[in-house]
A and B are shown apart, each in its own frame.
Chain A
């Protein structure tokens, strides 16, 4: 009975389990995606079909919808584990907690972030996004949605023990989301005007690296506080 699991194996074991659970619980994947699609398709109906107006608001609409979709799906990140006791077992397992947490956030991003990135270019057609903005749209979503998942997970970890943590959660994490939103939409606008946008991307990239390194520790510490 030797203990011989490497950190990498532990990471992938948890990642695989979370993906497996989500596949058997398909609503978890489709709800945020459906929300995203609905919001973006309702916008042209609401503000009229003029191409100029739509292409002006397209980056903002897509990003705000993506941000809200990601926030809607966040609550489930630790909730089920908290109610069935798996979270306690994760906190007491001999594996490093930040690593476990990172695996859970990665699983969450694969299930909610990646589908958004794949659907966004199709929805951008509905909003008459400028032709040269598509690259920037995909790049900002690819770099930005993991930041949303990582930062959001800190808020979820802090509120997981509360019965009605939803409102508090949005108050906690929306301010953290705003910089990502600003830099992402200005990058897409800049690309639409044929201006360089690599600076914006670099800042979102820096946010991603920073949150990738620091958020797992913050999430782990928050979970220990929440289960106290």
Chain B
């Protein structure tokens, strides 16, 4: 691979149309996300933010249009794409019957990582001392942090995060913002939806994609 410059397009959406419950959420939406970008998808409730994120991740199929990862259709190049993708939906994917440590251990191993120190990573998300606690007994914020812990041990370039700040305290949000900036600097990209204002990632760095609520 020769092209390693920072303006490399990681993800591109072509003419995406999404229809849910006989309502057009967005149509012919096209954009490109290049390495080093932090993109916020904005819009009121029901405008299709989560649907767009799920389409970008390859979980849902759009009514029309397609998504390309480095020039390849994500449906056809699913293995390469999944290898480079970290998606966190608004459901955390944390098992309440397992402890925080077991959850993280499973999530990382299934993502393909072999050698890691779960206690060290959990300490980074302020869960030191809760390693042995069942995730079902943790608070909503701690539950969320268990899922977010994966962000501290990953080499995936594309991060798609649906409401990552839900139930996270102010300090935690700051830490996440620093992490996003560092990730963007390393040549990754972050696509997220949130209704919160971000303090550290200013409007000069943040790119916004606005979706509108439509009545059709």
CB-based contact A84/B91 at 8 Å: yes
Given contacts A84-B95, A88-B93, contact A95 B87 (CB under 8 A): no
Interface string of B90-134 (1 = CB under 8 A from A): 111111111000100011011111111000000000000000000
**Contact of A17 with B87 in the complex, beta carbons under 8 Å:** no
Give the residues from 121 to 142 in chain A that come closer than 8 angstroms, CB to CB, to chain B: none
B82 within 8 A of A: yes
Q: Is the beta-carbon distance between B155 and A1 smaller than 8 angstroms?
A: yes
**Interface of B (DSSP majority class):** loop
- Contact between B113 and A86 (Cβ–Cβ < 8 Å)? no
Q: Complex: how many Å from CA A100 to CA B89? A: 20
In the complex, the chain B residue whose C-beta lies closest to that of A84 is B91
A89-B107 CB under 8 A given contacts A21-B97, A24-B97, A84-B96: yes
How far, in angstroms, from A100 to B58 measured CA to CA in the complex? 18
CB-nearest residue of chain B to A225: B61
Question: Considering residues B85, B95, B107, which has the most beta carbons from chain A within 10 angstroms of its beta carbon?
Answer: B95
- Please indicate the chain B residues that have their CB under 8 angstroms from the CB of A3 in the complex: 83, 111-114, 155
In the complex, the answer to whether A2 meets B114 with C-beta atoms within 8 Å is yes
Stretch at the interface among A8-16, A58-66, A164-172, A188-196: A8-16
> How far does the alpha carbon of A201 sit from the alpha carbon of B199 in the complex, in Å?
68
A25 within 8 A of B: yes
Residues of B within 8 A of A94 (CB): 79, 82-83, 111-112
**Are A93 and B82 interface neighbours, CB within 8 A?**
yes
Given A84-B93, A85-B92, A17:B98 Cβ within 8 A: yes
Nearest chain-A residue to B106 (Cβ)? A17
A42 at the interface (CB under 8 A from B): no
For residue A227, CB closer than 8 A to chain B, the reply is yes
Interface residues of B (CB under 8 A from A): 57-61, 79, 82-83, 85, 87, 89-98, 102, 106-107, 109-116, 153-155
30 examples of A-B residue contacts, CB within 8 angstroms: A1-B116, A1-B153, A2-B113, A3-B111, A4-B112, A4-B114, A5-B110, A10-B109, A10-B110, A13-B106, A17-B95, A17-B102, A20-B97, A20-B98, A25-B97, A83-B91, A84-B91, A88-B87, A89-B107, A90-B110, A91-B59, A92-B57, A93-B110, A94-B82, A94-B111, A100-B110, A227-B59, A227-B60, A228-B59, A228-B61
